[in-house]
Structure 1
Amino acid sequence: MTEHTNRQFSADLEAIRSQFLEMGGLVETMIRDAVEALQTGDLMLVDRVREREREVNRHEVEIDERISQVIARHQPTAVDLRTLLSVSKMLTDMERCGDEAEKIAKVARRLHEANSLYEPVVELRHMAKDVANMIHEMLDSFARSDPIHAAAVVRSDKEVDKEWKAALRHMVTYMIEDPRSISKSVELVFIARALERIGDHAKNMAERVIYMVRGDDVRHTGLKHTERAARGELEDHEPASDSRAAAAPDTVKH
Structure 2
Amino acid sequence: MGGTREVVRAAARPVAVTAATVAWVLGAVVNDLSGWSFTLTAVAGAVLTALAVGIPLRAEHNARVRADTAEQIAEDASARMQLVLNDTLEPLTYLIGRITDRPRWSFGREAVELQGQAKAVVLSAAAEVLGADRLRSCFFVRVEEKPVRLVPSGFQGRAEQPRTTFAEGTELGDFALGMLARREDLFCADTHATPLPGWTPGGHTYRTFIAVPVATEEREFGILTVDGLEVGDLTEADVAAVRVLARLLAVALGA
- Using structure 2 for the length normalisation, give the TM-score: 0.28
Q: Comparing both structures, which one devotes a greater share of its residues to helix?
A: 1
Query: Which structure's CA Rg is the greater one?
Result: 2
Compute the TM-score of the two structures, normalised by the length of structure 1: 0.28
Structure whose residues are more often strand by fraction: 2
Bigger relative CO (Cα 8 Å, ≥ 6 apart)? 1
